[in-house]
Structure 1
């Protein structure tokens, strides 16, 4: 049984950015508890009209792990490395994402009984983590992973609430709050020694031209093709520093850092909510359709009008929104599904997107993983028809997505959840940063324009005040 200790402090900067407060706490936790941070480092910040919060955590007190071996999926709940519960499920060869989430939906019921009963964790306990995008399902070995940190801090505008599941000193936490800086910035610039595009522009355009010729004229025939830029570093930077660099422009809806076992870190400034769940109420906000942005007001307005009147971008967006409406019907009360917004504009500064907002009520026999089984992968990162899009991605895409275009966020023991779609995301090691972007391809797409669109989407990492090319 775990002893749960909580300490609540007033947020010392209630008028500031809760994401930056969370980043400062994550930096302090990583510095003060390097061994715990080597097990797990997590930072997840969400900004919304009705409020903002961030969660920072280190150490792996409990962890839900997955392992795929051939046609078998193993799901395991561990406590500091010791197995508490393990179940193996046969995979039937259907869509891998649907099967993984479907089995996870069953597994977490039993895990919650152990965590809330035997270990007496409160229902509000968050499991931070995410899942990989299975563009190559035969090669996927670890589909999803979620962690309950040993030390975590939940930051709102009003308070910073620390939860300790280990034996860390109370005095350390008190000291951390008294030393919390108001302004947080990267401690070192991102010094780039070299760059490589995968694929190169010519190869990307060639592959896209070949694929576009195979698309039908049907409005729902779409596929998302992604590429990457590898940056070779002169010196290492921390994952939180990289996040602060990428987040130096307009605030994104989500900012996050995830790293397990001192391995590669995933850093993102995603603008897209995959799903938010509070009680039975769920919201999805698909983004599809893109134009570049500008700091100049007249140019920004011109691009906005182009986006609102571009047939290709509207077609791409409507395809994604209709797909969500169809998929939600599988797990939600049919009469509850409402499209609250259609073709709104979200301006990120470097790009603008068309956005819809859809709300619904989840059926009482379903949890958040049933919901993910129904809605993932969405057309915004995959395409439609789903099975055909998977074949096209495997044939024409030249990268390994891993967590990119998967999801990052949390779910709680009482089944609330918030997940960002993992776009505007980079993978980093000590000497390399891989930056990813994709675009939705339909029959009317122009391959070179899609190259430019993906370049614009990478700007938070490739073109910010802290990035220096030698």
Structure 2
């Protein structure tokens, strides 16, 4: 039995209607494949042992046994192996096609005269020192790449309107993997929302077809098109960036080969763009060996892939250790995974980047850069500043 496609031939709802209907506490996810809005909680997914995919499969089976038609699990999982997660079986799920392209800010509420205070965590100079520390670890051997992140904590003079933020993110880049997830901790009276517009597909599954689209190797986008052409050419010619990308695409291919009878890993990366960045990209596609195997659900594939070297490093264990040593703050949900999976195993999971956690007047966001031999601390600092621009622009904040 195959699940219905996220983008149905004749959607019941319009993508714009689902976006307009989002309220904090709901789950929203949109991509080039379609849009999904889920409300209410029929059941929360709890993991006593084993994988989140196993726990989700049990919850989905239980919902189906109770007569729930086409149940899905939706939510987010944090970066660390024992990180927090927010996965639920929603009470109501609505679907539509992909968001339509239009003028990014036309008809959208802005943040007006909102006043912001911005606190970097750590200070930029300390981050550059952390990159130097990572290069020393790489030079000592045993570590090929590590992704170092830094954070910004923003405080507004009024509560941040998450629906307006989400709408601005979707309209700015309708092709992104946009999301808003309630990640409020149990017992916390303040609603906490994870929102973002990720450019990176961790994995999707539809029937027996799987797709992953790792990104690694980046340059900021310019307002000048001639300069953009130069940067695209420079990215394709950069030995450092191609080496960084190769670490990621090779590992993603190795993991998916355990599940797939056929797998196509491009020999050369291409460049894709977002409104703020250019990225080296490899679109990896495969055919599952056994689509009926519960161990090859979209969430199971996502867990097997996470963390890719695009957000952690390689080898994984030394990279985790380097992050723990060099990053001053817990990433939380940043660089984890966000998405949905249905009872048949189909679904989509994106890497939780270009994101922020919003709680009342506070916005907490991260950006990271991949450090390999030859990395320049100042260039990596500039890259993180450029990556902050996705969220900062949506919030109406100029400086990073």
Q: Give the TM-score normalised by structure 1.
A: 0.74
Query: Are residue 22 (structure 1) and residue 18 (structure 2) matched?
Result: yes
Root-mean-square deviation (CA, aligned residues, Å) is 2.7
Contact 1:351 1:457 in 2 (8 A): yes
Q: Which runs of 5+ in 2 are unaligned?
A: 1-7, 100-105, 185-189
Deviation at 1:194, TM superposition (A): 1.0
1:3 matched residue in structure 2:
none
2:29 matched residue in structure 1:
44
Instruction: Summarize the Cα distance change of 1:389–1:330 in structure 2 as closer, same or farther, 3 Å threshold.
Output: same
Report the Cα distance in structure 2 between the residues aligned to 1:303 and 1:185, rounded to whole angstroms: 32
2:240 matched residue in structure 1:
312
Report the Cα distance in structure 2 between the residues aligned to 1:190 and 1:403, rounded to whole angstroms: 29
2:67 matched residue in structure 1:
120
Q: Give the total of aligned pairs.
A: 378
Deviations 1:432-454 (A, max 9, x none): 11121001000110001100000
Structure with higher RCO (Cα < 8 A, 6+ apart): 2
Query: Are residue 462 (structure 1) and residue 392 (structure 2) matched?
Result: yes
Contact 2:392 2:398 in 1 (8 A): no
Q: Which runs of 5+ in 1 are unaligned?
A: 1-7, 31-36, 66-74, 76-87, 90-101, 159-182
Report the Cα distance in structure 2 between the residues aligned to 1:456 and 1:116, rounded to whole angstroms: 45
Contact 1:287 1:317 in 2 (8 A): yes
Deviation at 1:463, TM superposition (A): 3.3
Deviation at 1:248, TM superposition (A): 4.7
Higher mean C-alpha deviation, range 404-413 or range 357-366 = 357-366
* Structure 1 residues 396-407: aligned runs within 5 Å: 396-407=326-337
Report the Cα distance in structure 1 between the residues aligned to 2:268 and 2:315, rounded to whole angstroms: 22
1:286 matched residue in structure 2:
214
Deviations 1:273-314 (A, max 9, x none): 000001121110000000111232111111111111111111
Query: Are residue 110 (structure 1) and residue 58 (structure 2) matched?
Result: yes
Report the Cα distance in structure 1 between the residues aligned to 2:232 and 2:141, rounded to whole angstroms: 26
Instruction: Summarize the Cα distance change of 1:315–1:218 in structure 2 as closer, same or farther, 3 Å threshold.
Output: farther
Deviations 1:102-132 (A, max 9, x none): 5334334433332112x1122x322211211
1:410 is paired with a residue whose SS is: strand
Regions of 4+ moved over 6 Å: 10-14, 217-220
2:265 is paired with a residue whose SS is: strand
Contact 2:13 2:95 in 1 (8 A): no
Report the Cα distance in structure 2 between the residues aligned to 1:268 and 1:322, rounded to whole angstroms: 27
Query: Are residue 367 (structure 1) and residue 296 (structure 2) matched?
Result: yes
Contact 2:108 2:164 in 1 (8 A): yes
Deviation at 1:217, TM superposition (A): 8.8
1:328 is paired with a residue whose SS is: helix
Q: Give the TM-score normalised by structure 2.
A: 0.86
Query: Are residue 433 (structure 1) and residue 363 (structure 2) matched?
Result: yes
